Amino acid sequence: MKIKFSNFFPSFLHKKARSLLGRGEGGILIRYTRMRRFRRKGKKLLILFRVLAIWYVSILTLSYATSDTGAYFNDIERIKNHLHVSWDPGAPPDNDEWDKSSLSFDSSVVEVNGCEVMTTIFNSGETMSFSTWKYYLYKVDNNGIQIGEPVATGNVPNISEKSWGVIKENVTENGLYKFFVRRPLGHEAKNNPDENGYTYIKSDHKISVTSCANTEPITPTPSVEVSEVTGLTESHTHDSITLSWTLPTGDNFSHINIYKNNAAAPIAKDVKATTFTDVNLTSDTEYTYILKSVGKDGRESEGVQIKVKTTKLEEDKTPPGDVEDLALDTKGNSAKGTISWKNPTDPDFSNVKVYLVNSDSSVVQLIEGTTDLTSYSLDEYKGKISTFKVTTIDRSGNESPGKTILVDLLK
């Protein structure tokens, strides 16, 4: 039989394997082979683990080197904690820088309306623009000493230079109250500062509340907006200004309050007309008026403002017209009498003067009357024949020639 090489080699291996198994050597060979294989695999795993460790340490080192330190993180946490405690999203922070405004309660007035208390306050400095002036309303004893914590606090509304402002608050019970105002920290006044360096001004008025029936905190009534006046126009002379407007048509409208030159109190209240004239003004002078609509709930609108400058007064050398219908009225008693007349209708007419005319035509002034004087009693000239002259005067001081009347009281 032929023996092929391809068959011989596997047969040889099988024989050799059986002979080794017979001597117990085959198990040793298999275990040795497995150990070598496992050893090679362990080396690969160790190398892979080292590579991963080096990569992890490198990433961690790079991240630490390019980020903030532990101290920084601690600082950030402290800052966040601080903001969390002190930040109030509903109120802007106080501005302690000083804008040169200067508030004072000197010559202020106070008012009480049920549970509402009000005080005026004057700004003798520059216009309030950014400084925070904070007010406090305290309940006080008969000596004006504060009792406990303030019952209300807030920021004083911005007030223009050399102008009055108003602070209003509601209280919940009867008693005595007083307003205090804290200056901004940067203000030049440094008298009697508190532990934080703030100084204060206080009202001299103790506000007595006697008709506040509320015992619970007041819930503000929702405000119903009131419309502004429209079509505000003006006309003026050298000493007067006339304003005209159209009234609002809303259901909540009640009346108009008119303010002049930023005064705290209106010069005209409860106005329901559509015109207003301000008289006895200075010529060549600018005046500011604000017309505020008032709702049925008593709340005022922001108002509509107008500025008007009176005309420059030219020198007036023209006298007014003379009186008319100068006559004697004896009322049935010829020994007594009264002279009477009608005053002229000149717009600048001011008053009249009554003179006694002597026989030499010289005159003696008897009286300088007012605008509405239209008669003069002659009782002291009983039994005499006398001549009287009545002249008129305008606001520039010009005097008319006058009219005379001869009076016979001898009868």
The tens digit of pLDDT for each residue in 96-110 reads 899 999 999 988 999
Does residue 355 have a pLDDT over 90? yes
- Which carries the bigger pLDDT value, residue 106 or residue 17? 106
Same fold: 103-209 with 230-309:
yes
Does residue 351 have a pLDDT over 90? yes
Does residue 72 have a pLDDT over 50? no
330-337 long-range Cβ contacts below 8 angstroms, 24+ apart: 334/409, 334/411, 335/382, 335/383, 335/409, 335/411, 336/378, 336/379, 336/382, 336/409, 337/378, 337/407, 337/409
Q: Are 236 and 308 in contact (CB under 8 A)?
A: yes
Q: What is the pLDDT of residue 367?
A: 85
- Which carries the bigger pLDDT value, residue 53 or residue 285? 285
Does residue 91 have a pLDDT over 60? no
Q: What is the pLDDT of residue 34?
A: 53
Q: What is the pLDDT of residue 189?
A: 87
Instruction: Categorise residue 331: left if φ over 0, alpha if ψ from -120 to 50, beta otherwise.
Output: left
Average pLDDT for 227-255: 93
**How distant, in Å, are the alpha carbons of 119, 128, 184, 213 from that of 125?**
19, 8, 14, 39
Does residue 36 have a pLDDT over 60? no
Confidence of residue 316 (pLDDT cuts 50, 70, 90): confident
Burial of 133 (0-12, 13-18, 19+ CB in 10 A): buried
For domain 103-209, the CATH architecture is Sandwich (2.60)
Average pLDDT for 282-295: 94
Query: What's the chain's average pLDDT?
Result: 82
Count CB atoms within 10 A of the CB of residue 183. 24
Distance (Å, whole) CA 194 – CA 380: 75
Residue spans per domain, the chain: 103-209, 230-309, 324-408
Average pLDDT for 201-223: 74
Domain 230-309 belongs in CATH node 3.10.20.30:
no
> Which CATH number describes the domain made up of 324-408?
2.60.40.10
Q: What percent of the chain has pLDDT over 90?
A: 50
